[in-house]
Every structure is written in structure tokens, then in C-alpha cells.
Amino acid sequence: MKKVSQMATHISFPFHYFAHPALGNKSPFFSLPWLASPRMRPLTRFVFLGSLLCFGAIATQVANFNVSHEAAEAHDCGAACQKRLTLTIPADVAAVGRDFDVDFYATAGNFSRASSKPGDVLKLQAVNPKTLSIDGGTTAYRFQYVSLDADGSVVPVTGFIAFPFTPHLSASNGGAVSKRYRLAAFAHGTVGIFQGCAPSNGPALYDYGTWQPVLQRGYAIVATDYAGLGNNDTTHKYAYLPVHASDVYYSVVAARKLFGEFLTEEWVSFGHSQGGGAAWKLAESEYVRNDTSYLGTVAVAPATYVASQIFDSFLDTVTGGINGSSSSTPAGVGFLPLLPTAVQRIIPSYNESILAPTLRNRVSMVENAQLCLEGVLGLTLDLNMSQIASIEGALRDRPTLMKWQDMSAPAQGDASPAPILVIQGQQDTAVRWKSTVDAWERACAAGNEVHLRLFPTQGHRPSLSAGAPEWLTWLDQRFDKKAAATAASGAYKAPVKKNCTKFTREPLNTEYVRAPTDVDLKPYLGPLSNFM
């Protein structure tokens, strides 16, 4: 797909655009009455370039196009496959939106390959709350900033920053509202690999019980889209965790340049699935190794050893079922269509042979229609394993896939300066729970403090809510412990690393605990007979 041409972003009027001093002084100034609020007065240093009214917006559809009968048939997508597309494409549109703000997501005119620095702010846009389906009391901004691509070059990236109505209540100040928002950097799960699959463009900002529970505890959330989603200056290097870690880290740097007066110096990161792996990779990166303001990471259902999981899951299936269950489908098989492109974007010489011809033909249809996650997940549901993957091809591809994994995965011996909490459901059909245990063991062997919590009966998304009482409290404790240590000694000292821990949590009554499956949460992935 061709890149969206650079639009004249500084002469459009549909939204608030702010120009930070870092953006330069290129635009006329609009004075808006609500800036007189004492809470917002520091933001008067920004330049407003528009009205919150949505007239004149440059918006178009760039993803999740309907697939014609003729195009589907030409790509081995028969009646069942076509029926599935009529269900999954609307689900993707609901998640990321149909109307794409071409103006905002186009590369900013003040971006320079030669002079822009990672963490620089390029654009800021207040989001019209009437367009959002998130919880009341939230204020959200979209922003564009600079990060680093896989080759080390600078690249524009988009994302959003969200604030709760007020910060958390301060236990050290008699329960009064804190003066600053605790800062949490969020890394999202798989949403797709094309430009139009940007979380920040969707009405719910791609929340499914991920970042809003943290926001509700008084945290400001900074959430990257990841490079290649939203802005298309580069391709999205799906599941290549070093670049995702860069995107998360530099989103924090940019957020501080924009809202530094309102944010704590201390910060944490958290993520789910693809983002769980990204957050874990960040925890072991040079970015935070000497950052005493970084307090720790939560990784929920993290993507770690992505290539190994493919082979191990096939072995699980042959020797008794996925993750020890009765399912005949390997963990993560629905994501397999994304893997060849992910690897090719890092290792261009890779010539894929792992996909069976039928699925390979359908994958080319995905690119033509720019389908996001749900459209991809539906591709394999009417196929048997011989139509999905080639065993011989997988064995040929294995060395390249493992090379890519070695370049990408966390838990390969790098040090983490702060603790990591890992939450993993044992009925996860996207992330093989045994792979997460393997990653935990290797990270602990490297001397890191990693705490693993396993949740029987729980799947990929339900592990978020099942583990919420623990992981949300754990985030709070990172800040509380630092505040207490600083108050006691007058100067903060990094805590001594503790031993790793691993516990399997149990519900009050396993027989009656709610454990929704993927089909329960996403009926459009269930039997087609339900829709006849």
C-alpha cells in the first residue's frame, strides 16, 4: 500500500492541534476560554490550531475493506470463508474505526530524518469526547512523536495519552487528591499489521479491560500505537519487540515534554499479549537500566518465544492436546498468517514456506483488503491443519524463524533493574502458557526478579480480569514503596532484588468460576450456524 501523502496538517480545522515549543512556531494562535482554568493554565504554552467541531475533517477508509465474491474466490476463500469475513470485518471496523484521520496520521511537516530526535513531539490533538466510547471522566489526546526503527533510524509514531478525572488519593497526605498523576506506559496487544489498524483511531482506543482499569486508579496512561500503525512512514514490525520497546519508552519521553507538570517522575510499564512481550523487553533494555524513576513492569499473557511456540504447540497437539487440554488446535495458530510478514520485515531475504498453499493465498487477500486482527483470526477457522501449515515448510523455515526470535525475544539473559510481574492464564489459546513458564525460568536464571502468577481455567483476555486484583495492586505498590522509602531516608535507594516467585492462583469455586472462551468473547469466531 502506498504511503499517505503528507497533508497540510497546519491548515486543517476539525480538531484541536497543539504546537509545543519543540514543534516550532509555524501556526496561528487560537485562544480558547477553557484554557483559563487554573489546572490547564500551563497548557497555554501550546498553540491551538482548530475547533473541536468535526466539520471539514480529512477522513477516509484505509483498512478493513469489504472483499468481493470474485476476489475471495480467487484467493481460495469459499462460501464459509466469505461468510466469516462478513462477521469479522465489521468487528475490526468497530475496534479501529472506519473513518481514518488522514490529516493527523500523516507524517508531520516538522519531522526530519536528519535532525529529529527520539522523544521529540510532532503533533498533539485533543480527542472529541463525543467520538469516544470509553468511560466517563476521561480526557484523551492523540499525539505524534519520534521513535527509532529497527535499523536505528528515526521514525514518526502515533499514540494517545489519557487522563482520569483526578489523580489517585495520596495515603501520605491524609487521603487528599495527589498533585500529580502516576504515569503508566501501556503496550497494546495484537490489533493488525497495517496502517489503518491504529488503536488511537478507534472509539474505545482499543481497550478491552487493559488500560482503563489502570486509569481508573488515578494513573495517566501513555499508549503508543507502535511504528507503522497509524502513521505509515515505516512498516509495522509486528512482534519485533526491540522496536516496540523503543516506541513505549519514547512515548514516555514525549509525554513528559507535553504534560510534565502533571506527571510523576516515577513510572511503570504494562502490556498484554504482543504488548506484554514489549513491556518485558523494555524491562530488560538499556533504556531503563539506569533509570531510577522506572519502577517495574506488568506483562499479561506476554508474547515471548513466538517462533518456538509455533513448533512446541504443534508438538503439544500431537502428544495430547494444546497446553494439556483436549483441543486439537495449536496455541496461536490464528496468528500464524501474520508471522511471515513479521519476519520478512526484519529479514527481507526470508522466503516463506511454512504456510500451506490455501492459507498463503488467503494471506495475500488480507494485504489487499488491509484487514486487521479479527479478519486474520477468521481465516483459518474453516481449514484443517494441512490447509494451514506445511510441516516440511516449517522445518525449512525453522532456522530463519529462530534467528528472528533470537533477535526479538525477552528473557534471553539481559538484566532488568526493577521487578516484573507476569500474569498468565492456563487456557490461553493465543499464548502457550508453558512458553511463558520457560521465559520466566530463563529470566530468573539470569538474576532478574520476576514473579509469575498462573490462572487455571482462564484464557488470553480473561487473564487480565482474573489477575486484576493482583496486578493492579502490584502497580500501586511500586509507587507506594518508593514514596515510603524516600520519606524514611530522605533519599531513594533502589530496593535489593528479591527471589523470583511462582504461584498458581485458585478461585473460590473452580466449578462455577466464569471462564469465557474466545468464542464467548468473540461470537463472530464461533460456529457459522449461529449466524444462518
- Rounded average pLDDT per 10-residue block, the chain, 532 residues: 34 37 38 41 41 52 97 98 98 97 97 99 98 98 99 99 95 81 99 99 98 99 99 99 99 99 98 99 98 98 97 74 52 94 99 98 97 98 95 96 99 98 97 98 98 98 99 97 79 75 98 95 95 83
Which pairs from 163-170 meet CB under 8 Å and 24+ separation?
A: 163/138, 163/139, 163/215, 163/220, 163/221, 163/262, 164/137, 164/138, 164/215, 164/216, 164/218, 164/219, 164/220, 165/137, 165/138, 165/139, 166/218, 167/218, 168/217, 168/218, 168/219, 168/476, 169/218
Residue 37 lies in a domain: yes
Residue 263 lies in a domain: yes
Residue 413 lies in a domain: yes
Residue 364 lies in a domain: no
pTM recorded for the entire structure: 0.90
Distances (CA, A) of 50 to 43, 127, 484: 15, 12, 44
Name the pairing type of β-strands 181-187 and 176-177.
unpaired
Residue 515 lies in a domain: no
How many separate helices (H) and strands (E) can be counted in the chain?
17, 16
**What pLDDT is recorded for position 170?**
79
Q: Alpha helices, DSSP H only, in 409-467?
A: 433-445, 462-466
**What pLDDT is recorded for position 495?**
67
Please choose, from the candidates 328, 273, 268, the residue with its C-alpha nearest in 3D space to the C-alpha of residue 306.
273
Enclosing domain of residue 495: 9-57+99-305+409-504
Residue 111 lies in a domain: yes
In whole angstroms, what is the distance from residue 405 CA to residue 107 CA? 30
Domain with 443 in it: what CATH number? 3.40.50.1820
For the chain, how many structural domains are there in total?
Answer: 1
**What pLDDT is recorded for position 532?**
77
In whole angstroms, what is the distance from residue 242 CA to residue 281 CA? 7
Residue 283 lies in a domain: yes
Residue 82 lies in a domain: no
